[in-house]
Amino acid sequence: MALPVKHHTRSKVGKRRSHLALKKTNLSVCPNCKGPISGHKICRQCGQYKTQEKAVKLTK
């Protein structure tokens, strides 16, 4: 089994992991019901996507 050649300091590891943090998702406003929606998704309240009524209505 291979062993690491050199020790990695905490700062070096932290610099590498600095890009792994989760980012907040941007919410938009539904043009029909004014509810919050994620981008490129069907509205959970009214079931519309880009001013078109979709057959499947999401309920939670």
The pLDDT tens digits of the residues spanning 11-48 come to: 999 999 999 999 888 999 988 888 999 888 888 888 88
> Is residue 10 over pLDDT 90?
yes
Give the H/E segment covering residue 15: helix 10-17
Q: What is the DSSP letter of 30?
A: -
What is the reported pTM?
Answer: 0.49
Provide the pLDDT for residue 59. 58
- Written as six digits, the tokens of 13 are 């590891």
Strands 52-53 and 48-49: antiparallel
Average pLDDT over residues 3-10: 88
Q: pLDDT band at 9, cuts 50/70/90?
A: very high
- State the CB neighbour count (10 A cutoff) for residue 47: 18
